[in-house]
Amino acid sequence: MHFLIIGLILVIIIFGPQLWAKRTFAKYNGHRQDFPGTGGELAKHLINTYKLKSVNVEQTQQGDHYDPTSKTVRLSPSNYNGKSLTAIAVAAHEIGHAIQDAENNPMLSWRTRLVKTTQVAEQISALAFIGIPIITAITRAPSAGALLFFIAIGSMLLSALVHLVTLPVELDASFGKALPILKKGQYISDNDVNGANKILKAAALTYVAGSLASLLNLARWIALLKRR
């Protein structure tokens, strides 16, 4: 019974933020006739307003994000083409990252370097986990398998850590940049501020969900190896 309760708590902790974020985005994703433009049009307008001359906007199927390498704000089709509070708030959030980049925000620069390192680390961890039983069988040296195990664990922990350390960057993009922009520019009414606040909070917390999902993946690999 205790294990069931603990398991339920872990599921809530791991999947709760992600489910809440999706629910929040969906709640405010309805078409708004009173908005003068789409999320993509707002992003382009803000690029001109804040003189982010080297920044582009485009649609993507890979999730809303800002790519500092190519200086590109990428929005999902629903947010690029949609006239909803979610589309407007998410577009402003990603423009917030572009402004951070223009201001040479050190945290954003650090995150960009960490993400590149993490991408390599995730590949290393996957190969290491797969290689543990093979290398152990070939060398007949448990120490070789143990070394690969610690390499894999370290790589996956790094992935989880990156999601958490980027949270301050996300919070600044949401509440240091996007929300003030939306309020000051009167892109949203006073009645929409509370909804925009929830959307922007959800946009930041998706990284917490990503970190927890990484830890769950780590636990899954460890459980799999124990069965072997």
Output the DSSP codes for 9-74.
Answer: HHHHHHHHHHHHHHHHHHHT-S--TT-SS-HHHHHHHHHHHTT-TT-EEEE-SS-SEEETTTTEEE
pLDDT, mean of residues 138-151? 66
Which pTM value belongs to this model?
Answer: 0.77
Characterize 58-72 residue by residue with b for buried, 16 or more Cβ atoms within 10 angstroms of its Cβ, and e for exposed: eebeeebebbbeeeb
Residue 80: pLDDT over 80: yes
| Measured distance CA(33)–CA(12) in Å, rounded | 36
> Which pLDDT band, with edges at 50, 70 and 90, does 77 fall under?
very high
Give the H or E element holding residue 2. helix 2-27
> Which pLDDT band, with edges at 50, 70 and 90, does 7 fall under?
low
Q: What share of the chain has pLDDT > 90, as a percent? A: 48
User: pLDDT tens-digit profile of 127-136?
Assistant: 666 666 666 6
Give the active site residues. Answer: 94
**Spatial contact of 125 and 151, defined as CB atoms under 8 Å apart:** yes
